Chains A and B, each alone.
Chain A
């Protein structure tokens, strides 16, 4: 089971919007609506931002949204804030013996 593919880095200015892509296959992202997204600041544990493609946990800002088209999922952050600067990882359920797979990770820089 190969890692999902994410861009290594993205950047955006304060107040702008950015989108991070997460490309899998027809066996994982393309088959199941079970993509989640995590934010990780340096030295900290990951934090769930989106689950089941589009759902936001309680307490997560509505500036974060998720979507999916075919085998590619996306995380969009609108109204960028300085505290959004972090690493972001996608994750998908696979239904195989390796039940979950993470993406390669994307470093977001807020300019």
Chain B
């Protein structure tokens, strides 16, 4: 079955780091632009980052630029989000999402929660 599965979430102290993973099944992740989207508790969706299919284009939301790094490992068919200097406001469920043939995100994982707290 074509799917995405995030992992790596958990409780992190403010100022700490965490790496999230997003494993792709039944499709080649590097053939698509792949995104990270987050949702704080009780709040709306916030786009976080994207890596283009070529791997050359990497973009970030203003709120995470300079702190988060998106990458992928084609051999593992996995997308990553390295999160550094974490703040309370980074607390959210983090989803990975595939950009389909248009500019819609046509495939989403189930999400992994990140809680930044002492």
Q: Which chain A residues have a beta carbon within 8 Å of chain B's beta carbons? A: 1, 3, 34, 36, 38, 40, 45-48, 50-52, 55, 57, 87, 89, 91, 93, 97-105
Contact = CB atoms under 8 A, between A and B. Distances in A.
A48 B97 CA distance: 10
A36 B105 contact: yes
B59 A97 contact: yes
A34 B106 CA distance: 14
Main secondary structure of the interface of A (DSSP, over half): strand
A51 B102 contact: yes
B95 A91 contact: no
A1 B37 CA distance: 15
A91 B102 contact: no
Given A1-B62, A46-B95, A46-B108, A102 B103 contact: no
Given A97-B65, A99-B50, A102-B45, A45 B108 contact: yes
B47 A51 contact: no
Which of under 10, 10 to 19, 20 to 34, or 35 or more describes the interface residues of B? Answer: 20 to 34
A1 B59 CA distance: 13
Given A52-B104, A55-B102, 12 more contacts: A3-B44, A34-B102, A40-B45, A45-B111, A46-B97, A48-B100, A51-B106, A52-B102, A91-B47, A93-B103, A99-B50, A102-B37
A102 B47 CA distance: 7
B104 A48 contact: yes
Interface string B43-65: 01111001000000001111001
B91 interface: no
A57 B99 CA distance: 12
A48 B111 CA distance: 16
